[in-house]
Amino acid sequence: MATETLVPLESNPDVMNKFLQKLGVPGNWAIVDVMGLDPEMLSWVPRPVISVMLLFPISDNYENHKKKEENDILSTGQEVTSNIFYMKQNLSNACGTIALVHSVANNCDKIQLTDGAMKKFLEEAKGLDAVARGALLEKTEAIINAHKELAQEGQTNTPSAEDPVNHHFITFVHKDGALYELDGRKAFPINHGPTTPDSLLEDAAKVCKEFMARDPNEVRFTVVALAASD
């Protein structure tokens, strides 16, 4: 059960980058907008891309697909590398922070974290399971306080923690040759098949399009990427 409700983090690259830098991610990696999912738009995104994040409306179609997907995987199985870092979401409206943690945690071989809250959290979380990692995040005041501070930025009308939120953030990363969807509300990571570091953005875009196709009358989708920054 969630013990606290946060104000959601906005899908705003400036806000998300301040959050990451506050926690020890160097400025040579940054969140950027993905303005469209066709090849031309994807070609504008700086490379390399090391994670893709999708913000989407939680709908009945999403919930139904989530339930069917989990049941199918439980009956047929899937391969999940032991090297993937995955955590459950306990705190309401913490999905933006969890998406960013998933992005960083699965790319520590590329991101040279400075000493700070993120590095400390990831070291403590290394040997834990997904549920225990979610519980640890709840108790990691430096990350929670950074979320609270930056959730107030970038919005003309900041919502209160009690306002209903029907959007959700998830992350796509490459790990050991596969594309993984990391959603703290799901039972486990989802393996979407083969990918490479070079094709991560294009392969994640295909899955994002599937989310959009399940809700064809919905326009409130946002895609951002964690990419190399000059």
**Which one from 95, 147, 174, 208 is the annotated catalytic residue?**
95
* CB contact set of 98 (below 8 Å; sequence gap of 6+): 87, 89, 137, 169, 184
Catalytic residue check, 168:
yes
**Which one from 102, 147, 168, 174 is the annotated catalytic residue?**
168
Q: Which residues pair with 180 in a beta bridge?
A: 173, 191
Q: What is the per-residue burial (b if ≥16 Cβ within 10 Å, else e) of 135-152?
A: bbbeebeebbebbbebbe
Taking a C-beta distance cutoff of 8 angstroms, is the pair 56, 62 a contact? yes
Taking a C-beta distance cutoff of 8 angstroms, is the pair 117, 146 a contact? yes
Catalytic residue check, 95:
yes
Active site residues: 95, 168
